[in-house]
């Protein structure tokens, strides 16, 4: 079959199978990620299907998988899962949750695409050689060359928004507390934006503390108390409450003696004492964009490879 003829003819499972010299059932298994299809055959089928712009029937796009890093569904993971659940349910799309440690079980399920909430890098490297399903990553590393698209919060915008607010309140000595930076693109971008902002505004007394196995939040609190910044910026949804606790225990008045701003943990941030001023990832928009992008990928429609979503600022009483 010539290239010109292939473009004109209707592309079907049978036509793809004939062009590859394999059975139509094998083509279907390859496109549905069946474990009995070898990696080499799967790659050939997927490559040709994309080249011929083959589109699976609509009913194949009614079930997707959401991959999470662990079974500890709290903080960020809890909030993004709630938003994804609402968005998928509103579209009548079924879904199942799969642990990243058990990601190979995807071969045993029938789904048309995957949304990953795993923020650690690595998935974008092995996915193309192991799976043929469309993948959209949330706040993680993409792989545009292999068709892995990204939806993420605008970390630079969020950090700058929070820092500009603190500076407008007269704060010039600011401590940033981050999650572990290893394999975490979002955390690295937050820290980079923080340092860039400090350099640009000549905030020479600002400093960064990274939460690691050897640098616990309690230890970081001790460092913060000893260095006594004017404001503490906690760049994590769940760390803010722990830091508030440690500062209270040390007898530090928030916000009279030290201001505190963190990432939003809805709905709890509004009910701490004092209520936390936060920047909030727009989880509803992240979910909408991720699901929309995945559906476009499943249907072989044109879509943006990368979408950034701005943070939302919520002013309360901790600054």
Tokens of 134: 């469309």
What residues contact residue 90 under an 8 Å CB cut-off, 6+ apart? Answer: none
Residue in the structure block whose two tokens are 């209707």: 10
Q: pTM for this one?
A: 0.81
**What is the distance between the alpha carbons of residues 294 and 137, in angstroms, rounded to a whole number?**
10
pLDDT along the chain (319 residues), means of 10: 54 87 84 73 78 64 83 84 95 89 74 88 82 88 91 98 98 97 92 98 98 96 97 96 96 97 94 97 97 91 95 97
Question: Which pLDDT value is given to residue 127?
Answer: 84
Residue ranges of alpha helices (H) inside 94-238 are 123-130, 155-168, 185-200, 217-227
């Amino acid at each position: 079959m010539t290239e010109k003829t292939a473009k004109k003819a209707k592309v079907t499972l049978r036509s793809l199978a004939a062009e590859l010299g394999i059975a139509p059932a094998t083509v279907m298994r390859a496109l549905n990620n069946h474990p009995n299809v070898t990696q080499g055959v799967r790659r050939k089928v997927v490559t040709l299907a994309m080249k011929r712009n083959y589109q699976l029937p609509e009913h194949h796009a009614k079930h997707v998988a959401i991959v999470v890093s662990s079974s500890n569904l709290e903080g960020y993971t809890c909030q993004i899962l709630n938003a994804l659940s609402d968005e998928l349910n509103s579209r009548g799309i079924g879904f199942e949750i799969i642990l990243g440690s058990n990601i190979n079980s995807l071969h045993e399920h029938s789904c048309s695409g995957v949304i990953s909430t795993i923020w650690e890098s690595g998935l974008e490297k092995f996915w193309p050689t192991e799976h043929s399903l469309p993948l959209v990553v949330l706040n993680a590393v993409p792989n545009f060359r292999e068709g892995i698209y990204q939806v993420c919060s605008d970390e630079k915008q969020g950090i700058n928004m929070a820092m500009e607010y603190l500076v407008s309140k007269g704060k010039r000595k600011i401590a940033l507390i981050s999650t572990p930076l290893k394999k975490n693109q979002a955390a690295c971008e937050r820290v980079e934006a923080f340092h860039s902002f400090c350099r640009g505004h000549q905030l020479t007394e600002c400093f960064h503390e990274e939460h690691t196995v050897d640098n616990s939040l309690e230890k970081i609190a001790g460092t913060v108390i000893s260095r006594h910044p004017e404001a503490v910026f906690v760049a994590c949804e769940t760390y803010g409450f722990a830091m508030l606790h440690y500062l209270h225990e040390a007898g530090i008045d928030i916000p009279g003696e030290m201001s505190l701003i963190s990432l939003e943990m809805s709905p709890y941030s509004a009910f701490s004492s004092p209520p936390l001023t936060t920047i909030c990832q727009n989880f509803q928009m992240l979910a909408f964009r991720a699901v929309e992008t995945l559906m476009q990928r499943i249907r072989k429609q044109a879509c943006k490879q990368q979408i950034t979503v701005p943070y939302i600022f919520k002013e309360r009483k901790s600054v």
